Structure 1
Amino acid sequence: MDAFGDLFRGVRAQGSLFGSSTLTPPWALHFVDGAPLTLCAVLDGAGWIVPEGRAPERLRVGETAVVRGPASFTFVDEPGTVAEPIACGEHCAAPEQGGTRYRRGWHDPGDGGPGEATTLVVGAYPLHGEIGRRLLDALPPVLRVGTGGTGDPVLDHLAAEVAIDRPGQQVVLDRLLDWLLVCSIREWFDRPGGEPPAWYAAQRDPVVGEALRLLHAEPAAPWTVSSLAGRARVSRATLAKRFAELVGEPPLTYLAAWRMTLAADLLIEKDAATVAEVARTVGYADAFGFSAAFKRIRGVSPSEHRRAGRSMAPVTTPA
């Protein structure tokens, strides 16, 4: 597991809203649910993503946009369109519920002539937990990926799948959306002149990249800088210097923050687990040391974090 792939452990299209819409101008789809992450791909035609409070973004055929929530956004034929927006969200899953051209895995051929229609595929991702938040924090409000990248074959498969109705279609669409999401974010991070997160760029370094892979593969291991350097086949001084330069913090500081991210989710997801059990899972020998580290890094105790998660209240995290 690498640092980038690890962030997708809780990101799955299964159970998320999925729609394929074929629209003829004028049209406007208003995505109202405020999903943490929404992927939009244009299979035919073109349109504009209009995020709340931000400038419109043109989306052409074969292009993909990833929109970060919770703010809503609109997909329109033209900025300032005269179309009455159709609210698309959780309750827009069938035509009788208001989604006349939008529902889970449904393809409507539209009423326009050849070349007039725009076909849009949308997947909304209900990210949960601190790992999901770590991914969201690395993304801009809207990222747009053009044609010619690794996502092009996925779009071809999507276009073929939404045009038919076969057993198991939702499973296929879910996996294709996951594939397209990873390709899109990776393409955006790798674009010329891009500014990816430090930990992402550092993965290309043979030394620091190997260290990051080890920390994510074995987060509970009793790591020291020396043991990590030994596994990466460099000196302790070399690893410490290069890691701090490329990632922006020492290896064990990075590891402590990642362990607390994992622990924060475990405390909520495994309600029956004791704090001591969670501590051991992320590499701490005793609950006291773990609790002290958790409060130092996250600003609240493990018990306070768990209570806040139970009540769905926001957890205060240090800036």
Structure 2
Amino acid sequence: MRKIVLTGIQKMELVDSNIPEIKSDKEVKIKLSTIGVCGSDIHYYSEGKIGSQVVQYPFPVGHECSGVIEEVGEGVTNVKVGDLVVVDPSVHCGECDQCLAGRPHTCRNNKFLGCPGQLEGCLADYIVMPHFTCFPVSGKLNKVQAALIEPLTIGVYTVKLAQLQNINSSVGIFGAGPIGLSILMKLLADGITNVGMIEPLEYRLKKANEIGAKYLVNPETEDVEKKIAEQEALLLDVVFEASGEQEAVTNAINILKPGGKLVLVGIPPDAQYVFDMDQMRRKELTVINVRRQNHCVEEAIDLVVSGKIDVEKMVTHTFSLEESSVAFDIVAGYKDGAIKAMIDL
């Protein structure tokens, strides 16, 4: 089968590999249909690491995917051959303290698709996964929608963690990439419409406007604090940081009202932020960290099936598996109006 592997910084190759085989009666073999290029994939491609997770080359990358079940183990009952499935890339053990506490996303023994030292990525013709990672959506979603459920779950979980109690809450989002847009779509689906998008790329601001952001701020050309104060004299209840930029965190602290919440979902390249603790303390701000998603796959599927969220609005490019390097270059370089690139098999 075909498989994409990273071979160095901003280098990847299409190689031949053996088709993986089922080794457990609770596993399934999936013929991949569509794979999304994620921001974390780009970190591995451009920097060779995310924090302490360092790539050892050659490295098979990719984790956002949909596919069709081609073979099932004898003990599998939740899916059948021929089903189009959403694939949750996270494999938890079900036995550690975190899993038993209802936190499989922070499983002590977690293995994740396309994560160094864990599982091979899904930029390939086939993968084998435990049955519980698969959610059948035949007749409900198309293959592109199904592949986009994974990033949408991040947005769903992020909004859930913020615990917004009032639909009139004032909200800001830094970063109009796929995660920032997923957060925006979830907020709008929940009836929370007082949402501003802060983003330096005009084409991404335009996309946020199309989806339904109430107002837009370009930090390259506008004073963020002043612009937000014009919209909300008392400042914001919640700010979602989905860009991974230090400047965004600094601005977020300035535009949050006392008692506000800063929700961190972006991944900083240097794996660290600097916080103005004088303001943080005086405002008594709450900081919430987001780790992937927790029990949000089915909700994300329902939101798309119901029509409350049109997840395909974020897609800007589609490539073949052979064009993966082009896709990664375009996404990494913010070229050609790229927001979400998909690999179609």
The question of a shared fold, defined as TM-score above 0.5 by the shorter chain, is answered with no
Larger-Rg structure = 1
TM-score (norm 1): 0.31
Q: TM-score, normalised by structure 2?
A: 0.29
